[in-house]
Structure 1
């Protein structure tokens, strides 16, 4: 495949750089991994690790399973300390496809770019032409909007969510319980001197005045979370409280800190600051509760998870879906606590959510070997859930507000329902050519991307016309009509009825409103017309299109922004 521009450099979707591209092969057997840094081992064991007793620093003890534990793993090195050159990525994808993998899982990516110049988009298109499913991380640039990577519609773009397990460390302030028997230590704010470097606990910013004290550090400043604790420890600090900035809200992470530490949300951090300013001798302690299950807000969109709308193609809703990506326990290449064997580590990122979906894709491929990559993607996207595990409230974002479709795509993956979705929105490789023409790419650019001659001519469609399982609409005063085709993969004889949850300020008309199937693999086409009802004053609105029949709920998200 052609090499992308030399300036393109990908990176893993984690603070450290990924060393491996993982191809999950849908065969029965053992899993092997060789990795000099840990990230590749972690992602591959998440996708298809064999059952093994696991923990990290004594936490989250139990039996760990990969999503597809009977699959083979093939790992392809495409990165170095300098990054992930586009040519290496293309070579790795080519090798994986030639080796016969069924699923490619790429926990790496760069900034948004034009598809013909994006090596992952180019390589992934070559893979889907061979029937290989491609899953990629959405990126860790959240919660900023329009920050998603890997936006091509032939890729499953995966955002990250929390799970219902936490490693809990609670901060108790000296004003909360005068009878508290645990030892209270002096509490100081690292930024009390007014220096930005100090409040972020940057290397060299503190001094021995913090010796024996608990130090409040702020998240950010391009300083690693563990690195902040190292600065506190190097100056004799007894413990660290790490507080979020406002964009990261309530989202906290479990890290292997170098000293006792607790990560608190922005609101809690501000309360700690207020306490510091209210007394001449502030004190605090940290209560360690260990592993806690049953987080009522799970799944919650992780603050770092990259968001839509897509810059490369606003007419395609990205990310596509979310899956577990926070505090994920999986295999590691070396022991992190010098005790646990086999070695495991707990880390967070869309690097971690991507292989969850890759493993599920391998299971679906095994269950439905005749399904195309687009059909597998559709099955996952139209069967997600939109509420927390207790089904009491919608999925929330890092501010504990309802997540929108640009935060979570179609919703959180539901593997059980994805195995039997009822209907799928299918696509073949040639179907993307009119879409690429509609994006305004030259014939030569499309030819380079698809690796064969292409000529647009009059063969072009608007991007929102692609037969995708979701809708991303730019709506003005003129009504817009798009068609979709669904394939029956549920029951031979079935009747589906359309139901629409209207986006605010938008009218949606589906024609026909009733689809009758009398055999499997039968296709049916319908149109959807979007009309503004005062939407021009709005900036964003969302709704859903359902196709309903007994035993099946097929849901497509609708995101609308003003033109």
Structure 2
């Protein structure tokens, strides 16, 4: 049932599908989706209260699942009895209302409640927020080599080439919150691995199709969580991945080296994850109904006590759904994970190229955007007398090399009474099948149609192939299996239309896919990758991937083999889902080298290292896929560098006080903050002047300042920590500032004398005009003879 849901190429209406056109998981047909819609929040007795039509929690006494968030757990964990007592105070008759109880790191529970019952619980002391259970969306061999050599003129294509971070960390544990894992994949072999670290406290659950023998020294733990819609369905309640997404993500982060990997012969090479020596702990939190917030929090709670070092989440909410931090399960779980020393890496979302679409934008999360690599999948169109137009797609059809098949523009096949725009875009029920049958059909895609709907419609009408005109999605090779379909640019379409209009019997053919390596320019910003700034706070430079970019387009990694189908052992996928585990793997390698480093130090090392690239392999500036120059709102600090992230020289450590002050600036009061965090120091108080503009002052590895006018210069402070070892070393500053903005730094030199020493500097931003009319980008870089430590900034007016 589950495999059928995720593989059938037809429309299925379920509450939340695995895949949507804007989801963080790409390259499968989309199913119909119903997304939660929310009312504006109301404050009731200090607890945030929201009602949702989708959750069934609005409208009188109608039941729905609510999350009751009670802040941080005590040192010894929260008590189920405490949660049960709070539930029983409002539930007089109903049994089995409790869905999940959160005891480790996080205190709270999820329960089936009426709106009135939820409202009553929200009034209790110690309850931070009560909100409907949200449902989240699921948002490689060559990619790792490209990260090492990609911007060099000479690119090493050796499948066995490796980064300077050489997988030394057998004791690092990466927790994957996703759709589960296919443990039989060669990527998860434990051959020659050391025994499981003694710090591991987790478990390998038993299910109908999964038992302890499926875990080994590589996959050391596996848990699963049914969502509220799944009840006790044994087909769902398993760590086994019946979707493929989780397996792909896990192998990208930590898969071992597997020679001879390919997708049906395409992109052959040696598959490997970013941290092949790291262990994997699986938390299956997504089902065919989506990824329930209540399950996400349960997984965070378990992961904290299990002893993971890195958490990787390739999922998130749609940009259209605003969530305050204390009603966002990912932000809540990540806050408590980071408090417990766990680095949390999340995907930024697939709703680009529009601005303010980035998700997972809490400052304690390392948020990742997607870039392309220098590998493309070519499926050319041949027409007229063997003229060739470059096309991109993945198909294995063979309809011949010679242009002998009749060619038609979909507009010319418009059905009587149909809309012309719909016919041009090959919409269902818009074309005359008699005119389509036996022909290759040219379809526009200016309405951003789901490509699989286009393919199905042409196929159903008897077309033998399709050429899609699509500038945006062309570089993100869609997979059409045995159907000859490809995408061309609008520029190249001019030539083929000229041919169509000049002959009575136009003919063409579509060639099967071949691989192009060392493609230029690369990287570019993937068109689908969500952009910044943050919709919650502009004063944290959460850019496209709020923090950093990584390869996320056309990534090959391990896959599933459910129901005995002929599923490939590896699959090509695109999305910020694929970018996220690249950073998770890199974070694990840094953690293995520096076990005592905090999550913020690891984040800073990844963001600030001098080769976090803003250039491509043509030595030009990083661009968006359609050619426009990219900015920090597109790529954050740049694309990750595997070469220097392990030796950053200096780091910006964002302290616990920074995060507490952030909550103050965001509008939370001291009493609420003391419930949220059990690590609030004695005597802590919110700054007297707590306002959003002051968020700029938290010690983050990037800088954002707004409300700049000629009369309103802004002064910002940052502190750097020496992590390069002992001995005297002096760093000097280089400022890259745009015209219209004066940026001064004091002091201009920082002299460190010992490891761990912290030194501060001040930056003053002054507009030269009366006010800034647009966002302006630049950077501040501290350099000695060995290290470059770069912090990007954005400055703007009102």
With structure 2 as the length reference, what TM-score do the two structures score?
Answer: 0.65
* Residues 215-224 or 322-331, more deviating: 215-224
Asked if the contact 1:31/1:48 (under 8 Å) is kept, the reply is: no
Asked if the contact 1:158/1:323 (under 8 Å) is kept, the reply is: yes
Give the distance between the partners of 1:348 and 1:536, measured in 2 at CA: 41
Alignment-derived partner of residue 370 in structure 1? 596
SS at match of 1:379: helix
- Counterpart selection for 1:300 from 487, 510, 524: 524
* Residues 216-225 or 463-472, more deviating: 216-225
Which digits, 9 at most, give the CA deviation of each residue in 1:514-543, with x for residues without a partner? 000011111100011000012735312111
Change in CA separation of 1:11 and 1:393 when aligned onto 2, cut-off 3 Å: same
Give the distance between the partners of 2:463 and 2:564, measured in 1 at CA: 21
Indicate yes or no: 2:384 matched with 1:174.
yes
Indicate yes or no: 2:138 matched with 1:12.
yes
Asked if the contact 2:356/2:535 (under 8 Å) is kept, the reply is: yes
Indicate yes or no: 2:594 matched with 1:358.
no
Indicate yes or no: 2:243 matched with 1:83.
no
Give the distance between the partners of 1:385 and 1:457, measured in 2 at CA: 34
Give the distance between the partners of 1:254 and 1:233, measured in 2 at CA: 16
Give the distance between the partners of 2:768 and 2:442, measured in 1 at CA: 50
Alignment-derived partner of residue 129 in structure 1? 339
Change in CA separation of 1:498 and 1:82 when aligned onto 2, cut-off 3 Å: same
**Aligned-residue offset at 1:70:** 1.5
Alignment-derived partner of residue 458 in structure 1? 688
Asked if the contact 2:351/2:357 (under 8 Å) is kept, the reply is: yes
Provide the alpha-carbon RMSD of the alignment: 2.9
Give the distance between the partners of 2:640 and 2:481, measured in 1 at CA: 31
Give the distance between the partners of 1:349 and 1:337, measured in 2 at CA: 27
Give the distance between the partners of 1:465 and 1:91, measured in 2 at CA: 33
Give the distance between the partners of 1:425 and 1:140, measured in 2 at CA: 29
Larger Rg: 2
Change in CA separation of 1:539 and 1:457 when aligned onto 2, cut-off 3 Å: closer
Change in CA separation of 1:95 and 1:269 when aligned onto 2, cut-off 3 Å: farther
Asked if the contact 1:487/1:521 (under 8 Å) is kept, the reply is: yes
Change in CA separation of 1:420 and 1:202 when aligned onto 2, cut-off 3 Å: same
* Residues 524-533 or 222-231, more deviating: 222-231
Alignment-derived partner of residue 397 in structure 1? 624
Indicate yes or no: 2:723 matched with 1:489.
yes
**Aligned-residue offset at 1:348:** 0.3
* Residues 27-36 or 63-72, more deviating: 27-36
* Residues 54-63 or 228-237, more deviating: 228-237
Unaligned runs of 5+ in 2: 1-105, 111-129, 140-176, 183-187, 198-216, 221-238, 389-399
Alignment-derived partner of residue 513 in structure 1? 748
Alignment-derived partner of residue 435 in structure 1? 662
Alignment-derived partner of residue 761 in structure 2? 526
**Aligned-residue offset at 1:396:** 1.1
SS at match of 2:367: strand
Change in CA separation of 1:432 and 1:55 when aligned onto 2, cut-off 3 Å: same
- Counterpart selection for 1:408 from 631, 635, 643: 635
Alignment-derived partner of residue 553 in structure 1? 788
Which digits, 9 at most, give the CA deviation of each residue in 1:294-340, with x for residues without a partner? 01111110000000011111111122111010011011112899667
Which digits, 9 at most, give the CA deviation of each residue in 1:258-315, with x for residues without a partner? 4012122343345545554555443332234511110111111000000001111111
Unaligned runs of 5+ in 1: none
Asked if the contact 1:250/1:266 (under 8 Å) is kept, the reply is: no
Asked if the contact 2:777/2:794 (under 8 Å) is kept, the reply is: yes
Asked if the contact 1:157/1:320 (under 8 Å) is kept, the reply is: yes
Give the distance between the partners of 2:328 and 2:256, measured in 1 at CA: 34
Q: Higher relative CO (CA 8 A, sep ≥ 6), structure 1 or 2? A: 1
Give the distance between the partners of 2:554 and 2:669, measured in 1 at CA: 44
Indicate yes or no: 2:362 matched with 1:152.
yes
- Counterpart selection for 2:464 from 238, 242, 254: 238
With structure 1 as the length reference, what TM-score do the two structures score?
Answer: 0.91
SS at match of 1:5: strand
* Residues 191-200 or 376-385, more deviating: 191-200
Give the distance between the partners of 1:241 and 1:409, measured in 2 at CA: 35
| Length, aligned pairs only | 555
SS at match of 1:166: strand
